Amino acid sequence: MKFLEQPPRFLFFTGKGGVGKTSIACATAIELASAGKRVLLVSTDPASNVGQVFGISIGNTIRQIPAVPGLWALEIDPQAAAQGYRDRIVGPVRGILPDAVVRSIEEQLSGACTTEIAAFDEFTALLTDTALTAGYDHIVFDTAPTGHTIRLLQLPGAWSGFLNEGKGDASCLGPLAGLEKQRAQYKEAVDSLADPLRTRLILVARAQVSALREVARTHEELAKIGMWQQFLVVNGMLARTEAAVDPLAAAICSREEAALAAIPEALSLLPMDRVPLKPFNLVGLDALRLLLADTAPAKCIEYPDTAFDSPSLSTLVDAIAADKHGLVMLMGKGGVGKTTMAAAIAVALASRGFPVHLTTSDPAAHLAETLHGALENLTVSRIDPHAETETYRQHVLATKGAALDAPGRALLEEDLRSPCTEEIAVFQAFSRIIRESGTKFVVMDTAPTGHTLLLLDATGAYHREITRQLTEGTMRATTPMMRLQDETQTKVLLVTLAETTPVLEAAGLQSDLRRAGIEPWAWIINNSVAAAHPVSPLLRQRAHNELREIEAVAKHHAHRYAVVPLLKTEPVGVAHLRELFRSGAV
């Protein structure tokens, strides 16, 4: 593998969610440790599953991997980091300031911004604290999905001040003052990331047009902040030998070859490795050791033909349509096909004559490309974080900023440059769209799991603040969180794949939602090989592996579910999206 030749100290894996960053990062860490190096594997993803891949619990403290001499791992837990951050701020003033003031500080520190800045503190410490990491030859970072990672790397060096007046028009749900002292540490971290002698960035993608286009954007955005030392890994490529006897395998191979032939020019200049699709799930040490191996995997095990029948997507849409309006929110791990499923459901509802607003809060979504055309009764929008943030900034400057003197306005402008401003601006746009669902269908394609949970955390903080401010005479107010918690108004659909890690992550997301009082309405198992009835030996083995995961969803996780088959033709355009409603279609 080119990206493993003369590796520097820091290896940084990033890319669109669901492309296999975690598996490749874990396999790389094992490879380096097997060569006699001392390696620390770090996950900065809020939805980390490194522990699941190794089959052990890791958590927020450095832990040695018992079966791999020389390998340690750490999952930066954003919630634990945020709690530690809150304790450092509140602890010194508890018992000194009035209880009401302390409670106010704690409430202001409950938002998503506190979580993000606290996790970033821990991340930068690993790049700059020589005492903490001196014992390791290599530090391998498994990062969050692209959009979150870009925002993480672009955090400013100082977070100054906050607005504690105005009942919700502040740029941040929590005070993040006092970080001026971190400026030097942040600068050192960014300098380290930009140094090719210390850091190598590995962009992980699939051989798909949209995935390669997304990773090209990532390449350009990271190059702008000085991270030029980049490699490309195209993961999960199906061998052409599988196509000889299987039309489905042949179609997949042709799609992948066409995508690589049309690779964006910026990526074509990068050193590139191709990792073949494996017949087994990438969970456990044996599987991880084979992922980057030059030797061919063991021969695929055949399994008997069995009748495969499961609920189709049409069944779910029939039940959704019966309500005649409402919010349909699709959530799940990045790369499982939320955008495609959202577009397909919106097309099905609009085709039945219902007015439908299809929208996304995902910075990396491609709704327009997926629809590839217009349809009567269907409107499409995207919550653009940059546009929403600028609109919000101008509103705050024109209202709260109008009465400030020059120093006060300068402080306000600095405050409005924090990423917290974007969270609140997107949240407000999100809330406006939720209100539309009272008269029409609103189908929302959300960002990958970690970012979505941050957004819902903002929703929850807003809900708590509004509830606290309500008096007995105004208790009829309805917050966005109340709408999300009401199944008669909102149907949350969890999208996953019939693979171990995506199902475990969807189950974890379901638990998180339940703690917030939101009950998922249904699960969608997307791109099922088993439902497509393959002939290729490798695909048949993968189909066999899927059956256990589909059974787990049906029996243990979902009240209702649907299985959507993998199609020979990529589901782009209205006609192909409608094919997803044909059970067993290929």
223-271 per-position pLDDT tens digit: 877 778 899 999 999 999 999 889 999 999 999 999 999 999 989 999 9
Catalytic residue among 15, 45, 312, 528: 45
What one-letter code names the amino acid at 509? L
- Within 13 Å of residue 117, how many CA atoms lie on the same side as its CB? 28
Active-site residue flag, 501: yes
Q: What is the predicted pLDDT for the residue at 487?
A: 84
Active-site residue flag, 169: no
Question: CA separation (Å) from 358 to 346, 368, 525?
Answer: 6, 10, 21
Contact (CB, 8 A) for 275 and 525: no
Active-site residue flag, 21: yes
Catalytic residue among 15, 17, 18, 326: 18
Active-site residue flag, 210: no
Q: What is the predicted pLDDT for the residue at 159?
A: 34
Its pTM surpasses 0.85: no
Catalytic residue among 146, 199, 479, 501: 501
Catalytic residue among 21, 333, 338, 400: 21
What is the helix, strand, coil percentage profile of the chain, to 5?
A: 50, 15, 35
Active-site residue flag, 457: no
Where do the domains of the chain lie, and which CATH numbers do they carry?
Answer: 7-87+125-158+179-289 (3.40.50.300), 316-579 (3.40.50.300)
| Burial call 148-165: b when 16+ CB within 10 Å, e when fewer | bbbbbbebeebbbbbbee
Name residues of the chain where pLDDT drops below 50: 156-180, 298, 472-473, 475, 584-586
H-run or E-run covering 549: helix 537-552
Contact (CB, 8 A) for 42 and 74: yes
